[in-house]
Amino acid sequence: MSAERIILGIDPGTSVMGYGIILCKSNKMTLITQGVIKLSKYADHALRLKIIYDRVISLIDQYNPDELSIEAPFFGKNVQSMLKLGRAQGVSIAAALSREIPYTEYAPRKIKQAVTGNGNASKEQVAKMIQSLLSMKDLPEFLDASDGLAAAICHYFQGGAKTSGSAGSWKAFLSQNPKRKIS
């Protein structure tokens, strides 16, 4: 792990995708940029994926991050939504890998836990903590952007990059979410 590194955090989505980029230097985090990619105006899912890929490549080329931190899809009831979300995550990871940027996935609860100390924190609580951690004057305009920043901050707190990542095994998921298990 170098003394200075740039982390790109992504909250994948096919309607709105959030991102945040931080500079980590001398045990201090500094906001570089944050934002969202609004995709809901595009009806074609394949076009949305292409836009995600192109925009992540653009962010990588502009800011030269050393690492990518991305929120892993969580278990949901709507299978089609999960598939679309997984595709958005996949093209984001593919963009990073095409530029030889290592990535790590984090479960949503892990990100919330790392940023707020509470794995069940609301998006608003995450945004307020990010505002404090990065000494931001205002809250991020979009909660998706603060979620992207949260992924980057979580990665910083976890200590660095892995060449690939996993949000954990099914066994770990079920132990953290016992009510989700169907007998």
pLDDT band at 84 (very low <50, low <70, confident <90, very high): confident
pTM of the full predicted structure? 0.84
pLDDT of residue 87 exceeding 80, the answer is: yes
Residue 123 lies in domain: 4-180
pLDDT of residue 2 exceeding 90, the answer is: no
173-176: list long-range contacts, CB under 8 Å, 24+ apart.
Answer: 173/75, 173/107, 176/107, 176/109
Residues 16-45, mean pLDDT to the nearest whole number: 94
Number of domains in the chain: 1
pLDDT of residue 176 exceeding 80, the answer is: no
Which of 50, 53, 177, 60 is CA-nearest to residue 110?
177
pLDDT band at 33 (very low <50, low <70, confident <90, very high): very high
Question: Which of 1 and 179 is assigned the larger pLDDT?
Answer: 179
pLDDT for the residue numbered 75: 64
Residues 32-43, mean pLDDT to the nearest whole number: 95
The mean pLDDT of the chain is 87
- Tell me if 12 sits within 8 A of 89, measured CB to CB: yes
pLDDT for the residue numbered 104: 95
pLDDT for the residue numbered 159: 82
pLDDT for the residue numbered 60: 98
Is 141 annotated in some ligand binding site?
Answer: no
User: So which residues are the catalytic ones?
Assistant: 11, 71, 144
Question: Which of 34 and 173 is assigned the larger pLDDT?
Answer: 34
Backbone dihedral angles phi then psi of residue 32, each to the nearest 5 degrees: -95, -55
Is 54 annotated in some ligand binding site?
Answer: no
Is 67 annotated in some ligand binding site?
Answer: no
Which CATH number belongs to the domain containing residue 151 in this structure?
Answer: 3.30.420.10
175-181: list long-range contacts, CB under 8 Å, 24+ apart.
Answer: 176/107, 176/109, 177/75, 180/75
pLDDT for the residue numbered 140: 79
pLDDT for the residue numbered 124: 93
pLDDT for the residue numbered 9: 98
Question: Which of 142 and 58 is assigned the larger pLDDT?
Answer: 58
pLDDT for the residue numbered 76: 65
